[in-house]
Amino acid sequence: MEKNNNRAEISRAQLLRTLENGETKVFRKRFLDMHFYDQAQFYLSLDEAQRQKLYRVLNPHEMGDFFDTIEDDLPQMSDLLREMAPQYAADLLNDMFDDNAADILEHLPKEDVNRYLSLMSKPDAIELRKLLHYDTETAGGIMTTDFVSLSADLSVGQALAELKREAAEAETIYYVYLVDADQLLVGVITLRDLIVNDNHTKLADVMTVNVITTSVHDEQADVAQKIRDYNFIALPVVDDDQKLVGIITVDDAIEVIDDEASSDYSGLAGVDVDDVSENPFKSASKRLPWLITLLFLGMSTATLINHYESLLSEASILAVFISLITGTAGNAGTQSLAVAVRRLALGNDKKPRLFKLVFGEILTGVVTGVITGLTVMVIVGIWKQNLMLGLTIGLAMAAAITVANLAGSLIPMLMDKLGFDPAVASGPFITTLSDLTSVLIYFSIAQLFIRAFIG
């Protein structure tokens, strides 16, 4: 692996040398032979002066090919486009697939968007404006209009000829969508079906009529789940009139799944996991709000412990087990939270009913709580040679875990019902809340049994 990395670095250095030395033909040959992803990574590794040389060597179409692989929300995307000549940048965006170009425009200042669209041909600008009209987290926001649709009245031979003419502009040609005169979707046929059937066969005789579609208004997470469930390469998108307006390809679905996973991880950690900034002050500014909020919630726990100061002075041994109970309950709550967020991320058909879910979480909490409580009761009883103290700690542990487990499940569900992202119920929040409830449960039970274990 290390040898391969060294070779890649040498190859990149050699490629950069040909660019710096003005060896245009050599550079173009080597660069254009690379995979689009590798081209993009090379481009992003350059400084501005080197990129300016690249713009003189490559045309907008060649740039657009690898720009399709670059993250649309790249922080410096606006600066990258601005350092190009405006017409060059507009042509580059125009040569990208429509959905990728629209995603980039979505993250640019409004004046930049208007400038680039004004420099494009009117039909191309209209297509991009249509895509920009949709909510970014819906099917309409991630679909592309670069697809092949044909009349169902054509023969297989006619369809293949038409497909050859349109293939260069389409994002995928594996599925060919068949429409009527009103652009209503009536069927779909695969490239494989076109190849294996006779040229004189009518498309209407071999097409699949039971077409799985999605609406332009559907949530992107639901769309990605549908593509994964049906193992599609692409999914057709229809408007309110059931007219075919675009398709969503599997690469867009993967990106949505990655974004959703990143969002869930960020919520569970209480920090943006995509923030890889090396600036410590910028990173700190993004993490501090949650920490300060949790600090005040933590102060409630400290205040509660202070309320039981007289109990602690009477039985100081109780202080030894505070962190044990709060820590274990917090871990149980975080586990429950992770399962709940994952469950909510699944399709609606996979979500259990509320009563069944609540009952299941209570049962899970009781089982884990009782087993953990019995374990700690035996350990403390033997360690301190005081079975009543062990019983007190065990009961508190069982009750704290049960409550934390239930909170970790119900809070994300409640947030989902209220229309908020359930991942916002972050791990640190659940842990801090569990600390508060655990301390209350612990000292309440200790008060009941204090005479039994201190004599």
Same domain assignment for residues 227 and 111: no
pLDDT of residue 400: 94
- Cα(43)–Cα(40) distance, integer angstroms: 5
Two structure tokens written together for 270: 């209480």
Token pair 């349109």 is at which residue? 166
Kindly state whether residues 235 and 351 are assigned to the same domain: no
Find the CATH number of the domain harbouring 112. Answer: 1.25.60.10
**In degrees rounded to 5, what are phi and psi of residue 150?**
-130, 165
What is the predicted pLDDT for the residue at 2? 47
Query: What distance in Å separates the CA atoms of residue 390 and residue 381, rounded to the nearest whole number?
Result: 4
Structural domain total, the chain? 3
Please report the pLDDT score of residue 279 as a whole number. 63
Main-chain phi, psi angles of 391, to 5 degrees? -65, -40
Q: Determine the structural domain holding residue 359 and report its residue range.
A: 280-454
Residues 29 and 59 placed together within one structural domain of the fold: yes
Compute the distance between CA of residue 208 and CA of residue 190 in angstroms, rounded to an integer: 9
- Say whether both 244 and 287 belong to one domain: no
Whole-number Å distance between alpha carbons of 136 and 140: 8
DSSP-assigned letters across all residues of 310-371 = HHHHH-GGGGGGHHHHHHHHHHHHHHHHHHHHHHHHS-GGGPPPHHHHHHHHHHHHHHHHHH
Same domain, 313 and 368: yes
pLDDT, position 22? 92
* Angle 221-227-232 from CA coordinates, rounded to 5°: 160
Boundary residue ending a domain (133, 164, 184): 133
User: Does 259 map to a domain?
Assistant: no
In a domain, 236, yes or no: yes
DSSP assignment letter at 208: B
Q: Which residues of the chain have pLDDT under 50?
A: 1-3, 5, 347, 349-350
Residues 222 and 327 in one domain: no
Residue 141 falls inside a structural domain: no
CA distance 269 to 146: 38
Whether 403 maps to a domain, the answer reads yes
pLDDT given for residue 412 in this prediction: 79
Confirm whether 186 is domain-assigned: yes
Biggest CA pair distance of the chain: 97
